[in-house]
Amino acid sequence: MPEQSNEVQALVARTREFVRREAIPIDDEFDGDIEAAGGDKVRARLQSAARVAGLLAPNGPVEYGGLGLTMSQRAPVFEEAGYSLFGPVALNVNAPDEGNVHLLDYVASSGQRDRYLKPLVEGKIRSAFAMTEPGPGAGSDPAALRTRAVKVTGGWLVNGHKHFITGADGADVFIIMARTSGEPGDNGGATMFLAPGDAEGIDVVRHIRTMDRSMLGGHCEVRFADLFVPDGDVLGGVDEGFRCAQVRLGPARMTHVMRWTGAARRAHEVAVRYAATRQAFGQRLADLGMAQQMIADNEIDLAATRALLRDACAELDTGAHAVKITSIAKTFAAEALCRVVDRATQLCGGAGVASDLPVAKIARELRPFRIYDGPSEVHRWALARRAVREVVGEQR
């Protein structure tokens, strides 16, 4: 990452010490399972400690108690938070809240900022971003959006079916993507709506059981049935939903990269320590050529991930959507960090798949990142189409 100011470097050091003192012991005791650790109760306890330490919401606007860091400044801080699976929860930089803070900060009206953004930054509420739908609805293809909002007197009625909505169980506010014009397959016609989690017409049907366990509120199936949203809770303008989503998508992908880089780094460091002490064939494992290659390849993948992240953050900090570089960085990082943790698992042998070391749980939590926020294949498809347009000017 680019050279940071003394203030940011000090913040990184404080975050490192805090995460090791407060988050890692709980994380390791409960094998990275946030619900087993206490769910919202442990969140409140960890965030209270972070607030006292002056570390809460490093991404949040200063007017609401956040630290107001730029994307480039966030990167090393979020990496240190991600060193523990519970670190992002503690600092209030976990998904989806972190991405929703960014979106609301850029798009929300003054009234919406006071009602929703302020308590979200302060850690008083949680949020969910409801876009993904069961097939044939929106997923990797947002234009397939089928949830619909119909105009009525004073507001809108929202009806639809969502799934894999992270944090939905216990969310105090939902940001809902619904179609207000056009038909599924059209590129426009979506609108974002804000709705309190306890509003009549919101039904969190179930938790979808996934391999990862560190996401507070789970990944849920949600139905909206005649949910009334007043006009004042339209977020960013009618039929402007897809445009507003671009404000959130690139930064949210990069903050995922930041957090998971920290987790992968922990797995790597655990494996290196293991290899430096484990004796095999009359010498340390770390002195064997094949082990050295895995350690070196991990160092390369971590460094390359940070380099792409640096470039993406620098472009985002100019105000650009940075669609191309964030897609490149997300795809590379998701695969590179999985390689890092896989090699760490292999280096640790049997201990690498046991709960005695944190490597196995990190592997479990990290693997879905190759799917979340866009599967690698979809990013490659989009990058290839963009490359054709840029090189030969083909329009399709």
Q: What is the pLDDT of residues 269-283, one digit of tens each?
A: 999 999 999 998 899
Residue 395 has pLDDT above 70, yes or no: no
Shared domain check, 277 and 189:
no
Shared domain check, 285 and 247:
yes
**256 contacts 369 by C-beta, under 8 angstroms:** yes
Q: At 308, which CATH number?
A: 1.20.140.10
Shared domain check, 217 and 246:
no
With CA atoms as reference, report the closest residue to 224 among 162, 135, 145, 151: 162
Average pLDDT over residues 65-92: 98
Shared domain check, 191 and 167:
yes
100 inside domain: no
Last residue of a domain, one of 239, 271, 304: 239
Average pLDDT over residues 331-340: 98
Question: What is the maximal distance between C-alpha atoms in the chain?
Answer: 80
Please state which of the ranges 87-96, 242-251, 340-349 shows the lowest mean pLDDT. Answer: 242-251
Q: At 88, which CATH number?
A: 1.10.540.10
Shared domain check, 191 and 152:
yes
Domain limits for position 174: 127-239
pLDDT of residue 125: 98
Q: What percent of the chain has pLDDT over 70?
A: 99
Residue 358 has pLDDT above 60, yes or no: yes
pLDDT-derived band at 221 (thresholds 50, 70, 90) equals very high
Shared domain check, 388 and 326:
yes
Q: CB within 8 A of 129, min separation 6: which ones?
A: 96, 99, 100, 103, 165, 166, 174, 175, 177, 248
pLDDT of residue 295: 98
Last residue of a domain, one of 196, 215, 239: 239
Q: What angle do CA 203, 206, 211 make, to 5 degrees?
A: 145
pLDDT-derived band at 396 (thresholds 50, 70, 90) equals low
Last residue of a domain, one of 239, 254, 270: 239
Shared domain check, 160 and 300:
no
**144 contacts 162 by C-beta, under 8 angstroms:** no
pLDDT of residue 212: 97
Shared domain check, 307 and 178:
no
Residue 225 has pLDDT above 50, yes or no: yes
pLDDT of residue 4: 85
Strand partners, 222: 162, 204
pLDDT tens for 281-335 read 899 999 999 999 999 999 999 999 999 999 999 999 999 999 999 999 999 999 9
Q: What is the pTM of this model?
A: 0.95
pLDDT-derived band at 393 (thresholds 50, 70, 90) equals confident
82 inside domain: yes
361 inside domain: yes
Q: At 155, which CATH number?
A: 2.40.110.10
Shared domain check, 387 and 285:
yes
Residue 16 has pLDDT above 70, yes or no: yes
Residue 90 has pLDDT above 50, yes or no: yes
Shared domain check, 208 and 293:
no
Shared domain check, 309 and 212:
no
Q: Which two tokens stand for residue 322?
A: 């940075």
pLDDT of residue 280: 87
With CA atoms as reference, report the closest residue to 90 among 128, 132, 48: 48
51 inside domain: yes
Residue 1 has pLDDT above 80, yes or no: no
pLDDT of residue 120: 98
Shared domain check, 214 and 90:
no
Residue 259 has pLDDT above 90, yes or no: yes
Count of structural domains, the chain = 3
